[in-house]
Structure formats: C-alpha cells, structure tokens
Structure 1
Amino acid sequence: MTNILIVDDDINILKLVNIHLSEQGYKVFKAKDGIEALEILNKERCSLAVVDVMMPFMDGYTLTKEIRNHYHIPVILLTAKNQIEDKEQGFQAGTDDYLVKPFELKELSFRIKALLRRYDHQPDESILRIGRTTINKKSYEVKIGDRTILLPLKEFELLYFLMSKPMQVFSRDHLIEHIWGLDYEGDERTVDVHIKRLRERFSKLTDDFHIKTIRGVGYSLEAKRE
C-alpha cells in the first residue's frame, strides 16, 4: 500500500482528503503543521506529501525545503493564492506540483498518480541498506559486511528495485515492465529464473532479507525484523 502524507491546519481538508485518498487505496498520514509532518516522515515511509502553504510553526515552503533535503519523495503544494510570485517561491522551495484552493479531489488524485509514476522510474537513493547488506546503484556493487558481490546487470537491477520498496508486492508483469522494459519479448519465467538465482546467491550469505513468493501474484522482498 502506498503511504501519502497530508499536511494542512484545516481539519476539514484533512478529513476530506483522507476519505477520498483512502477510497483510492492509499494509506494516509495526517499532520496539522510542518513539525508534526517531519515527525511522521521520521517514523513512516511515505511515497508523497501534499503540503499546505499557510500553516503555523512552519509554513509549507519551509517544510518543502526540509523534505527535499532529507527525503526523495514528490511534494504537491496546496495554497489559496494564485499569484505567479507564490508559485515561483513554491518551485524554488522544491515542490513538484502546485494546486490552488479550492480544488477538485479528483484533480488531486490525478496529480498524485502522475507524480508517483514519475518517481517510480527514479532510484530512491544511490545506496540502500538492509542490516549488513548494502547495494550501491553507482558502482553496481552489493556488499555484505566486508564482502563485495558483483551481479549480472538484470539481477542487480531486480534486487535494487525490490530492496528500494521492501514489503511491497509486485506482479511479474510489473517487474518485467520496470526491469526489462515494455518492448521485452520474453515471458514471465524470466522473472522466476532471476529470483531463483538471487535466492541461491544470498540465502547462504545473509539473513538480512529474503524474497518471498506471493502465490498467484508475484514477489515481495522482506527485511529481517530487528
């Protein structure tokens, strides 16, 4: 399930957006100001933030800068203003999109889906870590403690994608589209073969993670619980 953070000091807007996005299948976290929002981001893995500009303690521009400095997620700014100067300030702060109040909930949904698709094709980070296992997108290396492992390209890309989104379930079609591309002419067995190889390589090296088969659906990478 995709987590969305909504930040607004208007309780009614929080309630309306929460209901609408929950019906769309998202898990919604609500914050009434920027400080509360940062506390949530520190604890929860969110995929996108919808941020109001005018809030107490920390305005939306400042919060957007904080999010941009510490998290690789898209931000949509909500504002009652429609001046070009306000939009300029928002984009300078690092927002990805801008929605003027009052807005249609359907339009918010469209914009959220568009940004999630865009960010889904970008790595969340150059380096991912689960326990003692580190995977580096720049060097294409996997390290377990002091040991370095070099993988074939598609195995690396598949492992990196699954590690970047732990506990999420992906169908074979989704993995083929993301790793091999829309023009790939092979079949679903390609995914099964690569998953099998990854399991064989890492099952004896680490228990930091394992790739679980979700019967009738696809695969999910599960991290070891501390």
Structure 2
Amino acid sequence: MVKTLLVVEDNDEIQSILTTHFNQEYKIISAFSGTEGLLLFENNKIDLILLDIMLPGKQGNQVLKEIRLMSQTPVIVMSALGDKKLITEFLINGANDYVTKPFDLAELSARLIVQLRNTKGLEKKEQLQYKNITLDFTDFSLSTVNNKLTLGRLEFEILKLLMSYPERIFTKEHLYETVWEEKYIAGDNTINTHLSNLRKKISQLDPETPYIETLWGLGVRLAK
C-alpha cells in the first residue's frame, strides 16, 4: 500500500520539489500553514509528516505538540535554522528526526524509509479513557458503559488535554492559552465557567466519581 506523506511547509518551491521528487513513491498531501496541516492530519490517514519549523498560523512546535496528543505518527522536522538547541527541543518534544535546509533529497529519502520501517502498528488515537469515562475524538462524545453525551468543542479540548496528561497540573492560564489560542487575561472567568460546565456534564454520567480537581494556587488536573 502506498504511504501518505503530509508536507507542512509554506514555501511553494520546496513543496514543488518534494512533490516532484517523491510522488512516484508516496502520496503527497501539502499544507501551507500549521493550522491547515493539523486539519489535514485529522481528516486523512497520514503515515509520516515533514514539518517546517517556521510556519504561518500555528508554528511548528505547536503543530508537533497537538499531533503528539493524538498520535505517534513519525515527524521529520525541516529547518533552515542552524540552531541546534531549537532542534534539540523539537526532538525532546516528540520529533523523530530532522533535516536542515537546503537538504539532500537522497538523504531525506533514506530518512523517510528508516522512519516508515518503524510505523507498523502505530495508529491515531480515537479515544481516551480515565476511570469510568471514555472521550471519543470522532464525535466529541463522552460516555460511560450505560450513558453518553456530547461535549462542546472547547469542553472537549479541555478534557482531552487533561486526559492526555493525567499526572500533570495545568494552570488556568496554560489551559486557556492552549485551548483558546489567545493570551490569557488575569481575572477572566471564561476558563472557570467551562470547567464548571464540564464537571456538571461528567457528573451526569458518573455522579459518584470525582474527575477534575482544583489545587488552589497551582491549577487543575484529573482527580486521583
């Protein structure tokens, strides 16, 4: 079966070079911004991602972060920067490999082959489970064995983030800026309102079990 590569790169010339060189071996899907890349990733079966660091819209680091919340699909970072520290951060945060521009196509081809060898059995997560609840990515639903309800998009994103990192404490500022993708303003009650609504909905499914706890002065996390 032909493998599908998602190329997230805003440079038309590089997109053209990669498509021309690899379209006989792979199916190429092109994205010209970070936001478009995530949308295409969520709506297609992608086997490997070539990800530029500097992108319009969502930057490469944010794209990588969101991909790793739902998938272990191999990511090869492409960078015109010689900043080894930055590249190291990408590798630590989940990138599998990197190439620096201008790159050698034969070398890149070899790196693709190596990463694709290791992808057997890797699938995008469709669900997350914690205690008695299951969060389904396909329809924004939350369910127990006997009941099911649909979350609003922002409620879904908050719970998805918490369930992806069940041991982590999130400040309200971090939650807001990750989910809303806007700067948090001190005193804004938006995140509190959504957390309250989310708790109420979870309680409808499993009233006896705590799921989201507030640690005063620190933030919120999944209840132990």
Please give the range of the TM-score, normalised by the shorter of the 2 chains: 0.5 to 0.7
Aligned to 1:124: 122
1:88 CA drift (Å)? 1.6
d(CA) in 1 for partners of 2:26 and 2:20?
Answer: 10
Aligned to 2:49: 49
Aligned to 2:91: 91
> Given the superposition, is the C-alpha separation of residues 128 and 54 from structure 1 closer, same or farther in structure 2, using an over 3 Å criterion?
closer
Q: Could you tell me the TM-score, scaled by structure 2's length?
A: 0.53
Aligned to 1:164: none
1:83 CA drift (Å)? 2.1
Aligned to 1:2: 3
| AA aligned opposite 2:89 | Q
C-alpha contact (below 8 Å) 2:79/2:100 kept by paired residues:
yes
C-alpha contact (below 8 Å) 2:70/2:125 kept by paired residues:
no
What is the number of equivalent residue pairs in this alignment? 126
d(CA) in 2 for partners of 1:127 and 1:53?
Answer: 24
Aligned to 2:59: 59
1:127 CA drift (Å)? 8.3
> Given the superposition, is the C-alpha separation of residues 128 and 40 from structure 1 closer, same or farther in structure 2, using an over 3 Å criterion?
closer
C-alpha contact (below 8 Å) 1:62/1:93 kept by paired residues:
no
1:125 CA drift (Å)? 4.5
d(CA) in 1 for partners of 2:4 and 2:46?
Answer: 5
> Given the superposition, is the C-alpha separation of residues 107 and 127 from structure 1 closer, same or farther in structure 2, using an over 3 Å criterion?
closer
1:87 CA drift (Å)? 1.5
1:61 CA drift (Å)? 1.2
Aligned to 2:105: 105
d(CA) in 1 for partners of 2:110 and 2:72?
Answer: 20
Aligned to 2:14: 13
Following TM superposition, the consecutive aligned residue runs of length 4 or more in structure 1 with deviations greater than 3 angstroms are 125-129
State the SS of the aligned residue for 2:56: coil
1:70 CA drift (Å)? 1.1
1:79 CA drift (Å)? 0.4
Q: Which runs of 5+ in 2 are unaligned?
A: 128-224
d(CA) in 1 for partners of 2:115 and 2:54?
Answer: 23
Q: Which runs of 5+ in 1 are unaligned?
A: 130-226
Q: Write the deviation string for residues 152-174 of structure 1: whole angstroms up to 9, x where unpaired.
A: xxxxxxxxxxxxxxxxxxxxxxx
1:43 CA drift (Å)? 1.4
Please give the root-mean-square deviation of Cα atoms over the aligned residues, in Å.
1.9
d(CA) in 2 for partners of 1:43 and 1:126?
Answer: 11
| AA aligned opposite 1:7 | V
Aligned to 1:76: 76
C-alpha contact (below 8 Å) 2:4/2:29 kept by paired residues:
yes
Identity of aligned residues (%): 30
Q: Could you tell me the TM-score, scaled by structure 1's length?
A: 0.53
